[in-house]
Structure 1
Amino acid sequence: MKKKLILDVDTGTDDAVAIMLAALHEDLDLVGVTTVNGNAELHYCTDNSLRVLDFIGKGSIPVYAGCVKPIVRSDFPIPRTKNDLTEKIHGKHLPLPETKLQAQQQHAVEYLVETYRSTTDPISLVPVAPLTNIAAALAIEPKLVNLIPEVVIMGGGHDVGNVTPAAEFNIWADPEAAYTVFNAGFEKLTMVPLDATHKALVTASQCIQFGELGTPAGQAMAACTGHRIGIHDKIQRMDIEHSAPVHDALCIAHLIQPEVITLEEHPVDIETHGELSVGRTIIDKNRRGLKPVNCKVAFDADAALFVEIMMKTFAKIA
């Protein structure tokens, strides 16, 4: 039986790969995609999601546009570091053809609430974007904590930040929403932070191999990740030469083969007030606080297995 999931995205280059992996893998059933303001304004993220699904022949998967701004903050995007990567790595439009596909009329938050209220099947929730939609859904229906069997989040960092020295973009972009989600009480909450995604790098030579698959997904993977590698080479070099992380897709790979990441259980909380540390994920590895364990956190990843999963999946035509 296929594993059902809903993917919550702010589609830029790595979200695109996550959508393709979720939509194309034979063991997964991507029942819906929800979009949120993040890497770009909401309408760009929604259009990019539709472009991806159309390009790989999965246009029947519905897309729902969600929140246009953070839960609390009115000043998003707040000032970033001079080395901000978001605009450079993602841009507004993905390097994919325009599409005539349209998002559904229903708001993403309504869709999430109604879907989990009515479903009789377990549906994993995979937010790989700012957590605004998820926090808003919890505000409307707190029972979602018990109705959602599994939440797998791409976000945060312990030893690694990207948008600031302390914080990863998805958490930083709406820290109050992240605080709500991490403190909601989900029974099965998994966090895939930068510490893990930076160990699951895709190289330029592997990008060429993806392109040589000759499939739409292979071509899109090569284009999106090749662009990421070019930017990282210029302004944020990885430990492996000519490589880049494809953060969001690692969450999908975990659903397919859990051993692709190595998990530890820890208390995790979100800083919402610190002048220098707003958006930081506080992972209490040494148990210095009073908060109980609430999350499984990935600190390592199997890069070879990650690439193998994507290569096999993107070799197939939908």
Structure 2
Amino acid sequence: MARQLLLDCDPGLDDALAILLAHGDPNLDLVGVTTVGGNVDLATVTKNALELREYLGFPAVPVVAGAAQPLTRAARDAAHVHGAGGLGSVILPPATLPAHDGHAVDFIIETVRARPGTIHLVATGPLTNIALAVEREPALARWVASFTIMGGSYSRGNATPAAEFNIWADPEAARIVFDADWDVTMVGLDLTLQAQANKGVIERFTALGALADELIVPLSTFYFNPNVPDWDGQAVHDVCAVAYVARPDLFESRPARVDIETQGEFTTGMTVVDFDPALPNATVPTRLDVPGFWAYVESVYARVAAAHST
């Protein structure tokens, strides 16, 4: 039976690739996409999700907009990485179908409450929607089948030397989420930087036809030049979080205690990871089966590409 997946995201180059994986894997049932301000503003990430929904062909899946701002801080985006429109150079046809009525927080709570023990919740943006949801309904943490994020790290940052962007963008929300009554699978930078779309991967993607030309390759190479010999490729961070739900066998993980720094002068947004905890609150993937990962991702993308060409 397919695993039901609810994706909270901020598309975003790699969020778009993660949506493609969630839609295309027949062993996943994408039951909803919720959006949060992050990589770019909320209106733009929601527009991107709506356009991806129609372009990829899953119009019955609700897209629901959520929080535009962090809980207590001014919004900070990553448009310098993802482009002003969030999807780099990709321009999709305008969506004709609207977003679902209501707020993402209500949608998350209602969807999980209606199907306790069956929804795999995945967050690939700032954790604002998830924090608001678990504060409003603490039982959410017990109702989900699993909860996986792309965010954090145990050795480095990318928004700052100490902090990964999704956590740094709303550290107060991240602290609420990690303090809730669930085990958070933290797919962080140490893992996702093993998933580089290098020249060989891009060459295999190129063989997939129109979908690759219009979407996959531009998203995967927006800030990566495959002709530079010493560059390992552009990491597909958010794809790893969806892949973890579908194919946990591709990952080696360790239990950990993760706490969020919210007040450090130089370390705000840091995920402080203890791999020898008395009371773990997280599972942290540390090693990726890289050939297996790309074989899986390419097989799913090829499946969607074949359907897209008909």
How far is 1:46 from its partner? Answer: 0.7
Contact 2:55-2:93 within 8 A present in 1 as well: no
> What is the aligned counterpart of 1:205 among 196, 200, 206?
200
Could you tell me how far apart the structure 1 residues matched to 2:276 and 2:265 are? 24
Distance in structure 1 (CA, Å) of the matches to 2:207 and 2:72: 46
> Hey, what's the Cα distance between the residues in 2 that align with 1:182 and 1:253?
21
Whole-Å separation in 2 of the counterparts to 1:284 and 1:198? 20
Q: Which amino acid aligns with 2:67?
A: C
| Partner residue, 1:192 | 187
**Amino acid of the structure 2 residue aligned with 1:111:** F
Task: Give secondary structure in 1 for the equivalent of 2:61.
Answer: coil
Deviation, 1:181, is 0.5
Q: Aligned pairs, how many?
A: 300
Equivalent in the alignment of 1:285: 275
- Match of 2:221, SS state, is helix
Indicate yes or no: 2:134 matched with 1:138. yes
Runs of 5+ in structure 2 lacking a partner? Answer: none
Q: Which residue of 2 aligns with 1:77?
A: 76
Identity of aligned residues (%): 38
Are residues 1:301 and 2:288 paired? yes
Q: What is the CA distance between 1:155 and its match in structure 2?
A: 0.2
- Flag the 1:60–1:115 CA change in 2: closer, same or farther, 3 A: same
Match of 1:20 in 2: 20
Structure 1 residues 22, 97: closer, same or farther in 2, change over 3 A? Answer: same
Residue-by-residue CA offset, 1:37-89 (whole Å, 9 max, x unaligned) = 0000001111111222222222222100000101122x2229xxxxxxx2232
Root-mean-square deviation (CA), in Å?
1.9
TM-score normalized with structure 2 length = 0.91
* 1:14-35 Cα deviation digits (max 9, x unpaired): 0000000001101000000000
Moved more, 120-129 or 204-213: 204-213
Q: CA deviation at 1:242?
A: 4.5
Q: How does 1:19-168 map to 2 (within 5 A)?
A: 19-73=19-73, 75-77=74-76, 86-93=78-85, 94=87, 95-100=90-95, 101-120=97-116, 122-168=118-164
Amino acid at match of 2:75: F
Change in 2 beyond 3 A, CA 1:106/1:230: farther
**Deviation by residue 1:139-180 (Cα, 9 ceiling, x = unmatched):** 211111111121011000111210000000000000010000
User: Structure 2 counterpart of 1:54, which letter?
Assistant: E
Q: Distance in 2 between matches of 1:215 and 1:258?
A: 30
Cα distance in 2, alignment partners of residues 219 and 311 from structure 1: 16
Distance in 2 between residues matched to 1:296 and 1:200, nearest whole Å: 19
Question: Structure 1 residues 218-227 or 189-198, which shifts more?
Answer: 218-227
Gaps of 5+ in 1: 79-85
CA, structure 1 residues 112+242, in 2 after alignment: closer, same or farther (shift >3 Å)? same
SS of residue paired to 1:259:
helix
The 8 Å contact of residues 33 and 63 in structure 1, kept in 2 or not, is answered as yes
Q: Secondary structure at the match of 2:110?
A: helix
- Which of the numbers 180, 199, 219 marks the counterpart of 2:176? 180
- In structure 1, the residue matched to 2:246 is 256
How far off its partner does 1:215 sit?
4.9
- Work out the CA distance in 2 between the residues paired with 1:150 and 1:228: 32
